[in-house]
């Protein structure tokens, strides 16, 4: 009996369709197109990809000739779109080297006709995106970088948009506010504003996350009852901060569901407006995480604002403060303020973790540590990272003082470290 020769099984060609589709989604466009040579089953399988990502892996350097590189790149895009079949739910264009490309207008118009749900756009030039962007009514995620947009007054909004991320996008305050308010399902809003926006009104009834990096911008949360995570920062230099631009009390009272707050010195300075804050009428009962950076406890308006935040956050669980200290400044007004403070109403019975960075051992800093240790009955760990330039004798003196402080939590571990 003659035995038939062994026939190897072609595993690649006999994969289930869902497995082949999953493989393709994890490949670059270039590699996905190359799968056509594997077998008949794979040939042109890529043309049904719902997600198209064009990034700098497709950008071919042409000896410094920007125009030649642009033509080659747009040729690749047109080739892919020519063969593509079916909807394009996700489209990403990230080419930092691309300075200008008039074909983008045609591309975005094409996407508006193909039900795109996620669109990410980033090129080098501040390209003014065409009005056809606002015809992409199926959008759920929109991420734009280094470009300009101009929503028309007649634009009715992205009714399905869940996440909006704008980084260095040129748009006036009214246009931005109108865009936000016309997205009724918006849950996440990330704004890195480079142009001057004096006033920004946030009207987003289901917004849950808000991140803002800006200059001197007055923020008004008109209707954001579900907003739980807020991260705000101003990139202005300390000396460039204006006075009376915002109000800490109004800002916090408009965020009843706030659970996590991140804020840098410059923005806290804007909110404090050089005023000494003592109490806030509303209590931040839901706030669990508070992170403050570059905070100057030797400045009265900042110290009072920090204490105000702590005082009105009885359910705080994690506190992180990165300090900024100028030991040449006079702290007599700060110490006078601390002497008359009554902390009988301060309760931090849920605080478990405290991290203090750039600690120098000034009297206001020591006073804050003393307060936290005395009022935190469930505190598990306090990590204090000192400035490395402190001499050993001074460090030893600080340690002695820290050990004298009474601790409400018998299990708290205080770590005093020098960062590497």
Residue 325 reports pLDDT greater than 70: yes
Burial of 377 (0-12, 13-18, 19+ CB in 10 A): middle
**What is residue 244's three-state secondary structure?**
coil
Q: For the CA atoms of the chain, what is the radius of gyration?
A: 28
Return d(Cα 212, Cα 204) in angstroms, integer: 15
Q: Is residue 95 part of a domain?
A: no
3-state secondary structure 137-193: CCCCEEEEEEEECCCCCCCCCCCCCCEEEEECCECCHHHHHHHHHCCCCCCEEEEEC
Q: What is the pLDDT of residues 170-191, one digit of tens each?
A: 887 778 888 999 999 999 999 9
Q: Is residue 341 part of a domain?
A: no
Q: Is residue 310 part of a domain?
A: yes
pLDDT averaged over the chain? 82
DSSP-assigned letter for residue 82: H
Express the helix, strand and coil content of the chain in percent, nearest 5 each.
Answer: 30, 25, 45
Q: Please tell me the total number of residues recorded for the chain in this structure.
A: 420
Q: Compute the Cα dihedral for 296, 301, 307, 310 and give only its sign.
A: negative
> What does the pLDDT read at residue 127?
85
**Alpha helices of 340-410 — where are they, by DSSP H?**
363-375, 392-404
Q: Is residue 368 part of a domain?
A: yes
Domain that holds residue 300: 277-329+347-420
- Highest average pLDDT, of 14-18, 107-111, 288-292, 357-361, comes from 288-292
Q: How many CB atoms lie within 10 A of CB 417?
A: 10
Q: Is residue 391 part of a domain?
A: yes
Region 96-120: mean pLDDT is 86
Q: What is the pLDDT of residues 259-272, one digit of tens each?
A: 999 998 777 776 66
**Angle, CA 144 vertex, CA 134 and CA 130 arms, to 5°:** 35
DSSP-assigned letter for residue 104: H
Q: How many CB atoms lie within 10 A of CB 31?
A: 13
Q: Is residue 272 part of a domain?
A: no
Q: Is residue 322 part of a domain?
A: yes
* Alpha carbon separation from 42 to 7, 47, 84 (Å, rounded): 21, 10, 14
318-323 and 229-234 beta bridge pairing: unpaired
Number of domains within the chain: 1
Residue 239 reports pLDDT greater than 70: no
> What does the pLDDT read at residue 243?
42
Q: Is residue 161 part of a domain?
A: no
Nearest Cα neighbor of 55 from 38, 35, 76 is 76
């Amino acid at each position: 009996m003659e035995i038939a020769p062994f026939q190897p099984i072609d595993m690649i060609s006999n994969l289930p369709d869902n497995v082949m589709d999953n493989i393709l989604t994890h490949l670059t466009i270039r590699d996905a197109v190359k799968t056509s040579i594997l077998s008949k089953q794979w040939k042109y399988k890529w043309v049904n990809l719902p997600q198209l990502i064009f990034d700098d892996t497709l950008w071919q350097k042409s000896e410094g000739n920007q125009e030649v590189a642009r033509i080659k790149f747009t040729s690749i895009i047109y080739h892919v779109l020519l063969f593509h079949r079916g909807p394009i739910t996700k489209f990403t264009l990230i080419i930092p080297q691309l300075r200008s490309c008039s074909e983008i207008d045609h591309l975005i118009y094409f996407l508006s006709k193909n039900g795109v749900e996620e669109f990410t756009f980033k090129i080098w030039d501040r390209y003014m995106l065409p009005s056809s962007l606002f015809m992409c009514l199926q959008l759920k995620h929109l991420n734009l970088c280094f470009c300009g947009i101009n929503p028309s007054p007649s634009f009715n909004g992205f009714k399905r948009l869940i996440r909006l991320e704008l980084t260095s996008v040129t748009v006036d305050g009214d246009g931005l506010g109108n865009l936000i308010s016309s997205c009724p399902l918006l849950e996440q809003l990330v704004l890195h504003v480079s142009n001057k926006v004096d006033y920004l009104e946030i009207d987003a009834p289901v917004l849950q996350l808000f991140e803002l990096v800006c200059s001197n911008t007055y923020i008004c949360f008109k209707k954001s009852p579900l907003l739980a995570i807020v991260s705000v920062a101003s990139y202005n230099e300390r000396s460039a901060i204006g006075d009376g631009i915002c109000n800490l009390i109004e800002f916090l009272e408009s965020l009843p569901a706030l659970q996590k707050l991140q804020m840098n010195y410059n923005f806290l300075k804007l909110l404090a407006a050089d005023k000494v804050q003592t109490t806030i009428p509303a209590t931040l009962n839901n706030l669990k995480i508070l992170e403050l950076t570059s905070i100057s406890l030797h400045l009265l308006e900042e110290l009072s604002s920090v204490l105000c935040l702590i005082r009105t956050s009885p359910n705080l669980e994690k506190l992180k403060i990165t300090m900024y200290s100028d030991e040449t400044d006079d702290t007599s007004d700060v110490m006078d303020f601390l002497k008359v403070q009554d902390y009988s109403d301060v309760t931090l019975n849920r605080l478990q973790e405290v991290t203090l960075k750039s600690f120098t051992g000034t009297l206001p800093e020591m006073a804050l540590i003393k307060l936290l240790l005395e009022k935190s009955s469930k505190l598990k760990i306090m990590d204090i990272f000192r400035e490395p330039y402190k001499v050993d004798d001074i460090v030893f003196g600080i340690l002695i003082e820290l050990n004298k402080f009474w601790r409400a939590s018998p299990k708290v571990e205080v770590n005093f470290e020098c960062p590497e």
